[in-house]
Amino acid sequence: MPLPVKAGLGVKLGAYLSTQAEQSFVRAEGGFGIDTTVLAALAKADALSVVNTTSAFLQVDKTGFRIGGDTMAQLNPLVTPSGSMGVEAFIAPNGLDSSLTLRGGMGFAGDQYQDAELTLSPRGLGFAGTLLFAENSFEMSGTIGKGTGTLTGSSEILIHYEREDTIRRLQLLDKLLNESLEVAAADVVLHEAERLLELHLANAERARSDLAIAVNAVNGLQDDIDAIDVTLAQLRSDLYYQASVRSCAADYTGCPICGSCISRCSCGFGDVLCGLDCAACVAAFGLCTTARETCRLANVAPCELDRAARIVALLAQIAAQETAKLAVIVAKDVALAALGIAQTVNQIAQGVLATAEGTVESARVGLDAAQAALAATRDELEHLPKIDDDVQAVVSLTISTGPRGKQKSGRLTASFEGIRIAKGRVDFDANPPRACVTVPIPGLGELCGPL
């Protein structure tokens, strides 16, 4: 049963070939995807169809295929990874010896397991890991099917014999542990809060800088618009002058004025002298008209041409300024949008910064309180006698999950001062969870200790 393997981009490939098959192999390094569909079907378990790996290797030789690397994939819905895990896969030629194993921190049924292993093979989906409690650890293992899973494990624990002078000591020890954890947790919270505060300070400063840049950009573009408006006003004033005020009529004053020949050409029939005088007048009027037109062309026409040229030039300049103004207005609209975004980002950054500052202050107060409580507990603990004896017990746990949710059960056997105690109970509702036994000695009754 070959297990399909898909290579990602940038895979490096190498090989050693020999006439002896057991010495030959092919090796690739890079990222690979492992198809678990067939293996999951044989195991009758739910499994992610493809497990993607990074920083992995693939080696093929006579014995089969081996794959090793890292992954963040969640192979089964009931088992959640706590971070990056190691992955190993082996594909045997006969298929039945094939397996896929993930190693690292994992969660099952709400509990976190250290040094856990999740193995998928034709025999099923197996899980094993270390479950930590306040004082003891349990090596848990079991199988996971379709939507269900059950783990079992056991550990030897000590239940303290609480005489009158040791009851307070055990209470203080338990309190000391909790307060130590609280101090450590408060210290972690404080450092994380301070780290986030530095990050938010940088983000807030960046937001303020971006806001200032956006404001300057908008103001600069408005200055450009104002300057264009001033130029347009001057150009329109010049255009009005050229088109409506300026006149070239004054340039006609120096040209000849030609009179009329009507009074001199009212001759009767046969009046030869009058006809000659009329003809002379008409000829003189033609010469005068020609001279006047010559004068106009020499004086008035250049003025009109200059005026027309200036009007055309002014219209072109006005059109260019209007186009430039429109482009600047569009740029200003874009800058205003960027300014709005920068203002929103700045407000958010300032709010987040204020929250981070409050978180840091709360974390400091919490750390101070936890350290003070821990110091007081240690001082009181120093003045109490030591514990006299312990109950030795073996606790067996069963943790399962399925359609009815998470279920926990436990049983234990113990011995105390030579007396064997066959039964006890595990109280998971206590904080922290504890194991209890009833000692058959008058005055002792039930003794309990944390797991």
Nearest 5°: phi and psi at 408? -130, 140
- On whether residue 294 sits in a domain, the answer given is yes
- On whether residue 185 sits in a domain, the answer given is no
Task: Report the pLDDT value the prediction gives residue 116, as an integer from 0 to 100.
Answer: 92
Is the four-CA dihedral 72, 106, 119, 28 of positive or negative sign? positive
Domain stop point among 317, 347, 362: 362
Which residues in the chain land under pLDDT 50? 1-3, 165, 384-387
In a shared domain, residues 358 and 397: no
Q: What is the DSSP letter of 122?
A: T
In a shared domain, residues 209 and 356: yes
Domain stop point among 79, 105, 132: 132
In a shared domain, residues 334 and 247: yes
Task: Report the pLDDT value the prediction gives residue 331, as an integer from 0 to 100.
Answer: 72
User: Is the N-terminal amide bond of 433 cis, ω within 30° of 0?
Assistant: no
Q: What is the DSSP letter of 21?
A: G
Report the helix count and the strand count for the chain, using DSSP H and E. 3, 20
Task: Tally Cβ neighbours within 10 Å of residue 119.
Answer: 19
Distance separating alpha carbons of residues 111 and 143, to the nearest angstrom: 16
Q: With b meaning 16 or more CB within 10 Å and e meaning fewer, what string describes 314-329?
A: beebbeebeebbeebe
Q: What is the pLDDT of residues 344-376, one digit of tens each?
A: 766 776 776 677 677 767 767 776 776 777 677
Domain of 48?
5-132
Orientation angle between helical segments 167-240 and 272-381, nearest 10 degrees = 170
- 250 neighbors 300 (Cβ within 8 angstroms): no
Task: Report the pLDDT value the prediction gives residue 87, as an integer from 0 to 100.
Answer: 92
Return the bridge partners of 69, or none: 87
pTM over 0.75: no
In a shared domain, residues 325 and 442: no
In a shared domain, residues 241 and 300: yes
Task: Tally Cβ neighbours within 10 Å of residue 115.
Answer: 13
In a shared domain, residues 216 and 306: yes
In a shared domain, residues 330 and 416: no
Q: What is the DSSP letter of 110?
A: T
- On whether residue 369 sits in a domain, the answer given is no
- 428 neighbors 408 (Cβ within 8 angstroms): yes
Based on the structure, what is the number of domains in the chain?
3
- On whether residue 143 sits in a domain, the answer given is no
In a shared domain, residues 445 and 356: no
Task: Report the pLDDT value the prediction gives residue 352, as an integer from 0 to 100.
Answer: 67
Q: What is the pLDDT of residues 405-440, one digit of tens each?
A: 788 888 887 776 667 776 778 888 888 888 888 877
The CA-atom distances, in angstroms, between 52 and each of 26, 71, 134, 348 are 20, 6, 36, 37
| Alpha-helical regions (H) of 382-422 | none
Return the bridge partners of 120, or none: 100, 125
Q: Is 91 exposed, middle or buried (0-12, 13-18, 19+ CB in 10 A)?
A: buried
Rounded to 5°, angle at Cα 105 from 102 and 110: 110
Task: Report the pLDDT value the prediction gives residue 104, as an integer from 0 to 100.
Answer: 92
Nearest 5°: phi and psi at 403? -60, -30
Task: Report the pLDDT value the prediction gives residue 1, as an integer from 0 to 100.
Answer: 46
In a shared domain, residues 217 and 274: yes
Q: What is the pLDDT of residues 192-206, one digit of tens each?
A: 666 766 776 676 677
Distance separating alpha carbons of residues 119 and 303, to the nearest angstrom: 101
Q: Looking up tokens 């492992």, which residue turns up? A: 34
In a shared domain, residues 259 and 354: yes
- 382 neighbors 169 (Cβ within 8 angstroms): no
Domain stop point among 89, 106, 132: 132
Radius of gyration of the chain (CA): 50
In a shared domain, residues 426 and 344: no
Q: Is 363 exposed, middle or buried (0-12, 13-18, 19+ CB in 10 A)?
A: buried
3-class SS at 116? strand
- On whether residue 180 sits in a domain, the answer given is no
Largest CA distance in the chain: 177
